[in-house]
Chain A
């Protein structure tokens, strides 16, 4: 089987983060996994002990989506949501994102593009923030306290992924 490219991540300009990854599935399947609540619940969570407790998606232009992650150990919650701006299944999705506890200032605009070649889908998500400060806060988030995960847990995760 073809070796897929792992996640590539880059800060672009002052406002954007660009994520690129390949998936071994046709893009309509990937699109479905990105936009169907029962399916999103099965991957958009973690690291442990965080689970995606609420996942509501009204997949229409102007429709809203809402995610609530819950920490199974201490019961704390983290919610986020936004509005769909553009939907062109299975190739393009544009949505806003805002967290309930505004851990980065303002709102971001997420543009997801799926391209398919020989059964492999390339996923590109461009996350655009309102300010450089917001973008950098997001990039640093896993390393700072109060923004979800502790650095140690992530360090363990990094080690386990490299193993």
Chain B
């Protein structure tokens, strides 16, 4: 997969609120399908389906421990998706900093305009 395809898969996996909730749960440690199913009140097959999408996106891995199959969070693709947002954010932040400067100037002008003339200049 190219990096673009990988990111598409990551964002596709993240688009679903249940999958985001599963990931959020896994940030505090491994969990089995049964635990996830109980926690989100969703059938085990439905949880497994979500987990397969997350697994394909590399966001989750599974291992066997005794009788249980445990799912764990794989943070790397998330970090990559985050970097993406960060780059886009930096692009806009640079523009908004120019807007900050402009707004300071406009606010100062408005304040000066509103300030009443000094005593003595106020005939009329």
Contact = CB atoms under 8 A, between A and B. Distances in A.
The answer on A and B forming one complex is yes
B95 A43 contact: yes
Given A13-B15, A136-B7, A142 B100 contact: no
A29 B103 contact: yes
Given A43-B102, A140-B84, A132 B15 contact: yes
Given A29-B103, A29-B110, A30-B103, A44 B95 contact: yes
B107 interface: yes
B21 interface: no
A33 B100 contact: no
A60 interface: no
A7 B100 contact: no
Nearest to B10: A136
B100 A143 contact: no
A7 B98 CA distance: 13
Q: Is the interface of B mostly helix, strand, loop or mixed?
A: helix
A151 B102 CA distance: 27
B99 A45 contact: no
Interface stretch (B32-40, B41-49, B85-93): B85-93
B107 A158 contact: no
Chain B interface residue number, banded: 20 to 34
Given A132-B11, A139-B85, A140-B7, A39 B91 contact: no
A143 B84 contact: yes
A45 to B, nearest CB: 7
Contacts of A136: 7-8, 11
Contacts of A161: 90, 93-94
Interface of A: 6-7, 9-11, 13-14, 19, 21, 23-26, 29-30, 32-33, 39, 42-47, 132, 136, 138-144, 149, 151, 154, 157-158, 161
25 contacts: A7-B93, A7-B96, A9-B88, A9-B89, A11-B85, A23-B100, A23-B103, A24-B107, A25-B106, A29-B103, A33-B106, A39-B102, A39-B106, A43-B95, A45-B95, A46-B95, A46-B98, A47-B94, A132-B11, A136-B11, A139-B11, A140-B84, A144-B4, A149-B91, A158-B90
Given A7-B93, A29-B110, A136-B7, 19 more contacts: A7-B92, A9-B92, A11-B85, A19-B92, A24-B100, A25-B107, A33-B103, A43-B101, A47-B94, A132-B11, A132-B12, A136-B8, A141-B88, A142-B90, A154-B90, A154-B91, A158-B86, A161-B93, A161-B94
Interface of B: 4, 7-8, 11-12, 14-15, 84-96, 98-104, 106-107, 110
